[in-house]
Structure 1
Amino acid sequence: MTDYIKGESKLVRGDEGRKVRGKLLDAVSARHTSLTSGLCTAQDCQVCVAAFLSFVGYNCEPYNNPADFFLDVINGDSSAVVLSRADRDEGAQEPEEPPEKDTPLIDKLAAFYTNSSFFKDTKVELDQFSGGRKKKKSSVYKEVTYTTSFCHQLRWISRRSFKNLLGNPQASVAQIIVTIILGLVIGAIFYDLKNDPSGIQNRAGVLFFLTTNQCFSSVSAVELLVVEKKLFIHEYISGYYRVSSYFFGKLLSDLLPMRMLPSIIFTCITYFLLGLKPAVGSFFIMMFTLMMVAYSASSMALAIAAGQSVVSVATLLMTISFVFMMIFSGLLVNLKTVVPWLSWLQYFSIPRYGFSALQYNEFLGQNFCPGLNVTTNNTCSFAICTGAEYLENQGISLSAWGLWQNHVALACMMVIFLTIAYLKLLLLKKYS
C-alpha cells in the first residue's frame, strides 16, 4: 500500500497495513468533514462502530481501521479476539447477560445490539425523522419537494443542454454542414427556374422537396427525450427539477438552435439559387413557413418519443407517419379527387400545410406564358399559364386567408403535439 501521508511508496501488510489504512481514513474523513461543513460523514460511522465494539468488549487499537477490526471480530481470527479475551481475563466487565457459548458470534453481536442503547437511540431518531406519518408507502415516495424556483431550474437545464449540444459536433456542426451542402446541391439542380410551363413543374417539385426535407430532418428530435429518459427519471425523483422546467428547457435547447438556424441557412441558400419570386416579403414568408414546418414536425417527434425507451422504434413511427402525410401533401395526388371517406386525412398532414403555403407564396402573381397577354385572355386553352390558375387547380384559395390558414394549422398542431409530449412525461412511470 502507498503511504500517501509521507509521500513514500512501501508495501505494508497485516496489522501494520490496517493501522496505515486507519490513519489514511482518519485524515481523509477529517478533511471531508471540513468540506461538508460538519455534516455526518464516514468518520462518524467509524466512531460509532468503534464505540459499539468497545461497549461489547472488543477494544479497537488506536489508528486501526474499524472496518478491518470489525471483520476480524465477526470472523473470530487475528489478534482482535485474542486481545479482547485477555482483557476480560484481567478483569474486564462482561456483558450483563452473555449469550450461550454455542451461539455464533454474529448472532451474539446482533442480539446485543438489539438490546443496547445504540439500537434504541437510533430507532427514536428514525421515528422522529419519519414524523409519525402514516401515509401509504406509494404516496410517500411520490412526494417530491424542490428547493429552487422554476426559472432557476429552467436556466440551468437550458445551460446544460446547450453545453451538451456544443460538446457533440455530430449533432450541431454536422447538421449545419449537411444543410449547407444540401442547399447547394438543390440550388445546382433547380438553378434559375424559368417562367415557362416547365417552370410550374420544377417549382412544384422543389417546393415539395423543401417541405419534406424539413419534416424528415426533424426526425432527430426523437433522441431529445429517449436518450436521457433514465437520467430524467433519476433526477426528477431526486428533486432536482420539475417536469415543466425540464420540458421547456429541452425545447429551448432544441427548437431554437437545431430547427430555426438550419431553416434560415437553407432558405438563404436555396431562395436565390432557385430564382424564386424576387420580393422581400416572399423571401421571409418562405423562411417562416419552413421554420413552422420544422417546429411542427419536431413537436410530433417529441409527442411520439416521450415515454419510449428505444430510439429506433420512435424513428420508425415517425418515418411511417411522414410517408402517409406525403401522400396527402397535394403533389402526388390532387386532393380534390380523393374520395370523401379518405379526404379528411389531408387535415392531419404537416407537409400539406407547408407545401400549400409555399405554393401560394411563389405562384400567386406569376405568369408562365410570356407570349400571352393574360389581361385580355383570362384562361389558356392548352395549359395553365398563370400562378392563380395553378392554385385554383390545386384547390388553394386565392385570398390572404388561403396563405395564413396553413400557418395557423401548423401552430395548432405544434401546440397539440407539445401538450401530448408534456402529458406523457408527466404521467410517465417514474417509480418502480
Structure 2
Amino acid sequence: MASIDLRSFTEGTVLSIHNICYREKVKSGSLLCRRTSEREILTNINGIMKPGLNAIMECTSGDKSLLLDVLAARKDPSGLSGDILINGAPRPANFKCNSSFVVQDDILLDTLTVRENLHFSAALRLPTTVTKHEKDERIKKVIDELDLEEVADSKVESRKERIKTSIAMELITDPSILFLDEPTKGLDSSTANAVFLLLKKISEQGRTIIFSFHEPQNSIFKLFDSLTILASGRLMFHGPAQEALEYFASAGYHCEPHNNPLDFFQDILNGYSPAVVVNNEEVCEAHETEQLLTRQSSVIKGLAQFYAESRFYRETETELERLSGVENYRRSAFKEITYGTTFCHQVTWIIWRSFKNWLGHLQPWIVQIIIALILGLVIGFAFLRLKNGCTEIQNRAWSLYVLTVFQCVTSVLTREIFLMERNLFIHECISGYYRVSSYFFGKLFFDLLLRRFFPSFVFTLVLYFMLEITIFDHTPD
C-alpha cells in the first residue's frame, strides 16, 4: 500500500499554467439526429500562482469555477491541452489528495461536531504511520489556527462556522496548495471579511491559496496578492492585484475613486463602462441588446490583445520559460490514486460517521419503527380471524403478497442512503478520503442493516406472530 507524501510540496509552492486550453463536447439536434461538436471554453491561458492569495475572476459567464477545477485536476482531462506544473515539475498522481479543495456547496454533516469532522478527516487522509497522538496534535493546531476553540465540541451551525470547518478539514494534511470555490458565497460583508482575513493569515505561512470569488467588497480586494481576470475564456489580466487599476487606466478605462474595483472590472468587460457606452436613448430594446453584445465583444477582443502586448504578459512568459526548463514533461495528475489507509480502516471510519449521523437523526428512525409497528398490527388484525384451512389459502396468499410489497417498497427506498450524501461522497472520493468500495460497504453495512432492515424486521415480526396466533387459535377444517 503506497502512502501519501504529505510534504511532497515544498514551502513556497509555485503552480504554473502553460498554454492551457479546455474544450467540452456539445450535443445538438434532435434525439434521432444528434450531432456532437466541440466548444472551446478556455483559450491559451498562462499564469503563475505563488504563495499568497491568488484570485480568479470570470466576468462574462456564470462558470467562475472552471479554471479553478482545471487547476485542481477536477475536470475531465480529455478536453484539456497544455500543462500545469508544480515548481516546474508535472503534477504528481496524488495531486488531488495532496492539495486541498474547499467546495462551494454546503456538504458538512450537521450532526457532527467540529472536532468529530476533523477526526474523520485526519483518520482517513493521514497515513496509518501517523500516530493517534500526532493526529490529535495536528487537530488541536488547526483548531487554534482557525479560532475554532469555542465551537470545537459543538455541532456546526452558522455558515461562517461551516466554511471555517471545511477549511480546517482540508488543512489537516498540511497542504501547500489550497483551492477554494467562491468561499464567501452566501455570507454577509462582515463574515466574508473575517473569512478572507483568516485566509490571508493562512497564506502568510507559505501556502498558495487559489480561489474563485463572487462580488467581494473593496476591503477584501485589498487583501489579494494576485488577480486573474477572464472573459469569454480569454485572459484579460494576470498580475499583482493592486496594479490592476493602473493597468486598466493605461488601457483607457479609469475607475472613479468611490467605485469598487471589482465592480469596475465587471462593468468594463460586460460593456457597461462609461468609457465604452454610447448614449442613444431612442434605439429600440432589441437594438440596444445587439449593440451591447457587439460592444462587449469588441472590448474583450481589444483587452485580450492589449494584455498580450503588456509587460505583465512578457514577465509571465519569461518566468514560465524558466519554470518549464528543457525537460520533456507530460501531465501525470490523472493516474490512479493511492491511499494511505487500508480498506478495513476506511470502512470502520465510514461506519463510525454513519453511527454519529444516525444518533443525530434518531427521531425520523423512531417514527419509521412506529409506522412499521402500526402497519404490521393493522394488517395482522385483517388476517387474524382467518381459519387455517384449505378454503383460506387465497387469503393467506394475499397476506404473503402484502408482506412482499412492503419489503419491495422498503428496498426501493434504500437508494436514498446514497442519494442524500451524493455531493459529500463525490468531494471526499475525489480528495482521496476513501475508495468507492469502502464507502459502499460501509454505508451498506450500517445504514442498510440498522436504518432500513430493522423497520422491515419489526413489520415482518409483528405480522408473523399475528398469523401464528391464527394458526394456534383455529383448528383445521
Q: Normalising to structure 2: TM-score of the pair?
A: 0.36
Q: Which has the larger radius of gyration?
A: 1
Structure number with higher helix proportion: 1
Q: Which has the higher contact order (CA 8 A, sep 6+)?
A: 2
Q: Normalising to structure 1: TM-score of the pair?
A: 0.39
